[in-house]
Amino acid sequence: MTIIDDYIEQSIPHESGHILAGRFVGIPVFRLDHEIILTGTNEISTGNFITVGMSPPPVEPLIVRAMTPPDVLKAYTLFIAGGLAGNKVTGTAATEHGLAKDRVDLSRVSDRTLEEVAESSTLIIQKNMGAFEKLQAAFRKSYQDLTNNGQPTVGRHTLLTPDQLEAICPQSKRLQWFFSNQP
């Protein structure tokens, strides 16, 4: 396996874990995107995978914590830790590259470590393994379709749409009261 193959193999359960945990606890998760980049040697390569969902505004963490209801903060921590939980459930090693952004995002809303919160997110995934496996299969197929159909173009591509996510893992409305009142 190449470094790129390893990256993709750890990304599939990681992003699937974010999606499942987030949608289960009520954090709106809209889609899964992938960036195709141009390397320094002008070769087209795989870039980041992005779970697109709601997140706190980019303000001082103390402000975020003070202005966000505790149940929303807790749900957001489970969404963030869902990535590492996905890796744990599948036994796929997570790279620090894959966890660095999650650690930063978590630090904005909690003093707990990513590893601590991932324990709770792991339980969510284990209770919803059917959906988790379907997310991984859909992710893998969509990525293969993107990369096997000729040369993909540089830029951001949607791998899983809102309709696909809804069919696999319906969005919980638990926190709808909060997110429907956001600007």
The pLDDT tens digits for 134-180 are 999 999 999 999 988 777 889 999 999 999 999 999 999 999 888 88
Asked if the structure places residue 183 within a domain, the reply is no
Whole-structure pTM value: 0.94
Which residue type occupies 167? A
CATH number of the structural domain spanning residue 130: 1.20.58
Does residue 178 lie within any of the structural domains? no
Q: Distance between CA 135 and CA 23 in Å, rounded?
A: 12
Q: Please determine, for residue 28, whether its predicted confidence score (pLDDT) is greater than 90.
A: yes
The pLDDT confidence band at residue 20, using thresholds 50, 70 and 90, is very high
- Residue 177 is assigned to a structural domain of this protein: no
Angle, CA of 122, 19 and 116, to the nearest 5°: 30
Whole-number Cα distances in Å, 107 to 13, 102, 145: 22, 8, 36
Could you list the residue range(s) of the whole structural domain that residue 137 is in? 3-169
Structural domains of the chain, count = 1
How many alpha carbons lie under 13 Å from residue 55 in its C-beta half-sphere? 19
* pLDDT for position 182: 64
The confidence score (pLDDT) of residue 115 equals 97
176 domain residue, yes or no: no
Q: Kindly state whether residue 82 falls inside one of the protein's structural domains.
A: yes
Is 112 among the domain residues? yes
Q: Does residue 179 lie in a domain region?
A: no
User: Does residue 106 form part of some domain?
Assistant: yes
